[in-house]
Amino acid sequence: MCCLSVLLLNSGRIINVSSVKGLFVVPFCAAYTMTKYAVEAFSDALRLEMKRFGVTVTVVEPGNFGGATESINVCNVHYLHYNKVVT
């Protein structure tokens, strides 16, 4: 609670880290996409609620770094495979 009072008194900033994959759906990565979309929705609601206190809410949405994490690689492999099968 002490952090909240300091945040409100000083018109601070909240920074949430999401992913660009929270903005669109990627086949075979439903769980990852859902959690990132939830961060986006939470941040939007929090931004509206904290505006009257002068607190800004920022969302950082890093893109695909092509190997930074295994989950991104697995999603891309499934996505490419899916597109080959469909087209």
Region class of 67: left (phi > 0), else alpha (psi between -120 and 50), else beta: left
Indicate which residue of 32, 37, 79, 82 is catalytic. 32
Give the Å distances, CA to CA, from 17 to 28, 57, 81, 82, 83: 22, 11, 28, 28, 28
Catalytic-residue membership of 82: no
Catalytic residues: 32
